[in-house]
Structure 1
Amino acid sequence: MIFGLGAPELIFILIIVLVIFGPKNLPKLGKSLGKTVKGIREGMDEAQDGAKGEDAEAKDVVVEHNDDADVEDAPIADPDSDADASTSGEKFCGKCGTANPPENHFCKKCGAKLD
């Protein structure tokens, strides 16, 4: 079964395509359909490879930063915020730097667990 279609449905669809396009144009139609599917697959593979490469680069940057400094990951303060975290009681996300209310256990922006 392909896409929930059985053999009788596929045969019926092929007959309709044959009637609409004619037997002379079927090879051209199949060739163009094959090229289209191949192009879509290549595009999806490139997008996945690009995303994996960006993730690896981001991990390398974090690892390099941690290797250079012997300190724990400190929360990143929001540069636009005038309030200090110690006086307001806000928790800052170590991943994205968003200020969160002290009762939150997860970041309201990225969903990362707050310490």
Structure 2
Amino acid sequence: MVVHLNAIGPVSLVIIGIVALLIFGPKKLPELGKAFGSTLREFKKGTKGLMDDDDHDTKKVIEHKDENK
């Protein structure tokens, strides 16, 4: 099952926010948001590093092929 971001509208976001507020309370939500943001930032750094490694490896392969011609 694939859910696209287009499927989540403004009403859905409000409902998700209200449910989160009821579950975690108003004092805990900022802490959870900050933790989620830092986790997402670290994940992006890690995936960027992987993408940079892939780009570097691809360039090596292309250069090697060009040298053999």
Task: Give the shorter-chain TM-score range.
Answer: 0.7 to 0.9
Corresponding residue of 1:44: 47
Pairing partner for 2:38 from 13, 30, 35:
35
Q: TM-score, normalised by structure 2?
A: 0.81
AA in 1 matched with 2:47: M
AA in 1 matched with 2:32: L
Distance 2:67 2:57 in 1: 15
The correspondence of residues 70-85 of structure 1 with structure 2, limited to 5 A, is none
SS in 1 for 2:26: coil
Q: Which runs of 4+ in 1 moved over 3 A?
A: none
AA in 2 matched with 1:65: N
- Which structure has the greater CA radius of gyration? 1
Corresponding residue of 2:60: 57
Matched, 1:14 2:17: yes
Give the CA RMSD over aligned residues.
1.5
SS in 2 for 1:18: helix
AA in 2 matched with 1:42: K
Q: Which has the higher helix share?
A: 2
Identity over aligned pairs, percent: 31
Gaps of 5+ in 2: none
